[in-house]
Amino acid sequence: MRLEKPRLAPLEPEEIDPEIRERFGDGPILNIFRTLAHHPKLMKRWLVFGNHVLAKNTLTPRERELAILRVGWLRKAEYEWAQHVAIALDSGLSQEEIERVPAGAGAAGWSESEVALLKAVDELVGDAFIEDETWQALGRFFDTEQIMDLIFTVGQYNLVSMALNSLGVQLEEGAKGFPES
């Protein structure tokens, strides 16, 4: 974790705006949501976009999670990594593939479409731009909506990583962060 303690402590469930709390039902509320609940208007609007990226995206769940993990790794967002490893495993990525994410597109074993996706993530995170060669490679495997969803997925998780890191959102108890180097 970049910070050993939160800069903005997560709210207790009873402190959270009732309209937001209702969205989570009776289950536990993750630290990210308990922290963002400090700004209810922002959170309500952000959840709409986040729901598209996470649940209505035209990328396959596997592709989406590969992109999210790569962003989390590049942005040193350990909380994001920890949350999405479990989702990635449920979305068709193997533990071995997840362990390859830090090496990026150059690691052996990725398909051609995954190499293009990983290169695009690196370029978007590094320069906010997909180079022509990578764009052409993406076009061989993804349609227009999928490429747009990839761009917005990277943007969403870049934003989330900035918030997680800067606010100091801590891992849930028992969550496993980055792999040991």
Over the stretch 110-121, which tens digit does the pLDDT of each residue have? 999 999 999 999
Give the pLDDT confidence of 158-174 residue by residue, as tens digits.
999 999 999 999 999 98
In a domain, residue 154? The reply is yes
**Is position 46 within any domain?**
no
Give the residue among 163, 162, 166, 71 at the shortest CA–CA distance from 125: 71
- Distance in angstroms (rounded) separating the CA atoms of residues 168 and 170: 6
In a domain, residue 173? The reply is no
What pLDDT is stored for residue 1 in this prediction? 84
Q: What pLDDT score does 181 carry?
A: 55
pLDDT in tens, 19-54: 888 888 888 899 999 999 999 999 999 999 999 999
- What distance in Å separates the CA atoms of residue 159 and residue 116, rounded to the nearest whole number? 22
Q: Tell me what pLDDT residue 24 has.
A: 87
Number of domains in the chain: 1
Q: Is residue 42 part of a domain?
A: no
Is residue 49 assigned to a domain? no
Classify residue 12: in a domain, yes or no: no
CATH of the domain at 90: 1.20.1290.10
175 within domain boundaries: no
How far is Cα 10 from Cα 168, in angstroms, rounded to an integer?
10
pLDDT at 26: 85
Q: Which domain holds residue 71?
A: 60-163
Nearest 10 degrees: CA dihedral of 42, 44, 46, 50? Answer: 160
Cα–Cα dist 39/142, whole Å: 36
In this prediction, residue 179 carries a pLDDT of: 86
Residue 178 domain-assigned? no
Per-residue pLDDT tens over the stretch 50-107: 999 999 999 999 999 999 999 999 999 999 999 999 999 999 999 999 999 999 999 9
d(CA 105, CA 112): 9
